[in-house]
Homo-oligomer: A and B are copies of this chain.
């Protein structure tokens, strides 16, 4: 941590700041510049020290040098985390494909889609039973019943399943039925939910908040890791910007950037990132070229007549199958194994 004083701060005031720092058991190292003085702090400071210093008179700026997250950091854990779920490896040089509908609708729908995901070469079945919706009058999901249908379909076709969990009290029931628990973009900083997910061992896919920085995202992962659950994967799903043609702005550079900062697998979600079916195939390939460890893609047998929305970005089954075929060729050129 570095403290920068205001121009021409008097010596005695610098002395006070130094004493304040050293009271916390760390060392202060003073460099006098032409008009500002810089005080470096050496040692492990109390987490609140930065905030205290920032609010002191004559302190112009406090710059944290060390990262605020530890367990999520590649400094702490240099090797890629590889999460093994029933024999499916997520992370490292494996490419995993998760496919399925936005929402579970009927047992027949999810069974048919599961069959299609499997035959196309996917490994994980996605589907929402509880849906976060902007307004209270929209379809809120089928509930627990949907989880059961999904589990049945997954087992029948040999697929893992992933579903969104929206509140701490649903973590246990969701973990009973699904192999991976998804935290949605609006819940990335629902700290109670994160803490609860730290108490189980079920793998978690943590979506980036729609206006979260990399630092905030990795700190959210840190909550789960610090609670004792090491099985976290991160999901880039687009951020909110001024551009409205696509639903979000797909920040693909986040994939290699996060992989350099962290050892956790990074999954890309081209469906929600773009919100436009006609862009999903291209952006899936771009995600693989950007180094994604996996993909989560919406697919539906009849998006025009989906009861539950988001059809606008769902691939048709034949598009999905063709895309996964293409990935078999593309993946090896990008250092990944697929198919």
Contact = CB atoms under 8 A, between A and B. Distances in A.
Nearest to A194: B136
Interface stretch (A28-36, A80-88, A115-123, A172-180): A28-36
Given A136-B226, A252-B250, A279-B257, A285 B334 contact: yes
Interface string A46-74: 01100110111100010101101100000
A254 B169 CA distance: 35
A202 interface: no
Q: Which 8 A-B pairs have the closest CB atoms?
A: A55-B311, A211-B211, A51-B309, A289-B289, A186-B189, A167-B192, A286-B290, A31-B40
A285 B61 CA distance: 26
Interface of A: 2, 4, 7, 29, 31-36, 38, 40-44, 47-48, 51-52, 54-57, 61, 63, 65-66, 68-69, 75, 132-139, 166-169, 186-187, 189-192, 195, 210-211, 213-216, 219-220, 222-223, 226-227, 239-246, 249-257, 260, 273-274, 276-279, 282-283, 285-291, 303-312, 314, 326, 329-330, 333-334
Nearest to A60: B65
A301 to B, nearest CB: 13
Contacts of A213: 242-245
Contacts of A216: 134
A304 B168 CA distance: 36
B240 A137 contact: no
